[in-house]
Structure 1
Amino acid sequence: MGARTFVVVGGTSGLGLAVARLLAHDHRVAVLGDVADEVATVSGELGCTGLVCDTSAYEQVRDSFARVVDRYGAIDGVATCASVWAGGDLADLTPAHIRRAVEVNALGTTYVCKEALHQLRRQGYGNLVYVGAMAVVKPRPGIPVYRATKSYGTSLIESLAEAQHSNRIKVMQLHPGPMPTRLQERAGAEFLDEVYAQPEQVATEVVRLLQLAPDDLYVSGERVLRADGRW
């Protein structure tokens, strides 16, 4: 199908960056991140478009998607990888930390899906891939807030997938197991898992879903699980 245009939300580190790297070789990529220096570094390294965007602010999400469309005319796929870690006992989490996790993991995911699907419906095709977490499949008592916010995203995606009524617009989700990224570091926590996959390993699956063609088999609503030996 030749070079296509993809948006990677949360593409400045971890899984999002790994996805952007794989796509940038052959396609047009727009990376969205909330730290200006990181966005500039990644866009310079990959030779892609970089946009500073706090997904918890709807106007920033709306304007970022509008800029991508203005520049490239269409969007073939959107990967929403942005997430805030909120691990630990509920009693130990500050109200500010809880609020930020909800703002990014729930509100941010909603805003991204809203703008992504607005564009995909307008053009009549495209793929939306939500990166969830294996934590939503089985309760983990040590991360109640993180799991709750990621479960919100899963519920949202499942409903949106059923609402498309067309295979030309595919809404999918992928639930990775633990990965050693900056997710915990950004929240001042440590990565403690002993069984995990590297972001580069999981990124290949995200890219596969992003590149599905409009006439490929009906997979909207598909849930891809990567347990990576844990469960």
Structure 2
Amino acid sequence: MGARTFMVVGGTSGLGLAVARLLVEEHRVAVLGDVPDEVAAVSDDLECAGIVCDVASYDQVRAAFAEVVDRYGTVDGVAACASMWAGGDLADLSPQHIRRAVEINALGTTYVFKEALHHLRRQGFGNVVYVGAMAVTKARPGIPVYRATKSYGTSLVESLAEAQHSNRIKVMQLHPGPMPTRLQERVGDEFLDEISAGPEQVAVEVVRLLQLAPDDLYVSGERVLRADGRW
């Protein structure tokens, strides 16, 4: 299909960055992140567009999508990778940490889907891939807030997928297991899992879903990847 345009929300580190690295080889890519220095560094490194965007702000999300559409005309796919870690017992989490996790993982995901689907419906095609977590499938002790916010995203995707009524707009979700990324480090937690997949491995599957053509097999709403060697 030639070069296409993709947005990677949360693309300055971890899985999002790995996705962007794969896409820039053949496509136009816009990386979104909430830390200006990180966005600038990734944009320079990958030679792609970089947009500073806090997904917890609907105005910033709307402006970011408008900027990409104004620059490239269309959005062929959106990888929703932005997420905040909230590990630890509920009693140990500060109200500020809880609020921010909900703002990013729940509200932010909603805002991204709202704008993504607005533009995809307008143009009549495109894919959205939500990066969930295996923790949604099976409860794990010590991450009640993180699991709850990621479960919100899963429920949102399932409902939105059913609402499209078209194979040309695919709303998909991918549930990787633990990955050794900066997700935990950014809030001061350690990565403790002994079994994990690398973001580069999972990124291949995200990119495959993003590049599905409008007439490819209907997989909207499916949980595409649900294995990490743990369960």
Instruction: Name the TM-score, length of structure 1 as normaliser.
Output: 0.99
Cα distance in 2, alignment partners of residues 113 and 32 from structure 1: 14
User: What's the secondary structure of 2:129's corresponding residue?
Assistant: strand
Deviations 1:76-126 (A, max 9, x none): 000000000000100000000000000000000000000000000000000
- How do 1:99-118 residues align onto structure 2 when only pairs under 5 Å count? 99-118=99-118
Are 1:211 and 2:211 matched, yes or no?
yes
1:219 CA drift (Å):
1.0
Q: What residue is the counterpart of 2:57 in the other structure?
A: 57
Cα distance in 2, alignment partners of residues 115 and 199 from structure 1: 26
1:141 CA drift (Å):
1.9
Are 1:30 and 2:47 matched, yes or no?
no
- How do 1:1-231 residues align onto structure 2 when only pairs under 5 Å count? 1-231=1-231
Cα distance in 2, alignment partners of residues 8 and 92 from structure 1: 32
1:226 CA drift (Å):
3.6
Cα distance in 2, alignment partners of residues 175 and 64 from structure 1: 26
**Hey, which bits of structure 1, 4+ residues long, moved more than 2 A?**
none
1:71 CA drift (Å):
0.1
Cα distance in 2, alignment partners of residues 227 and 187 from structure 1: 26
Cα distance in 2, alignment partners of residues 191 and 100 from structure 1: 20
Gaps of 5+ in 1: none
**Which letter maps to 2:157?**
I
**Which letter maps to 1:17?**
L
**Which letter maps to 2:113?**
C
User: What's the secondary structure of 1:78's corresponding residue?
Assistant: strand
Report the identity percentage: 84
**Which letter maps to 2:195?**
V
Cα distance in 1, alignment partners of residues 190 and 227 from structure 2: 20
Cα distance in 2, alignment partners of residues 27 and 129 from structure 1: 17
Deviations 1:25-63 (A, max 9, x none): 100000000000000000000010000000000000000
User: What's the secondary structure of 1:146's corresponding residue?
Assistant: helix
1:227 CA drift (Å):
2.1
Cα distance in 2, alignment partners of residues 110 and 62 from structure 1: 12
| Alignment size in residue pairs | 231
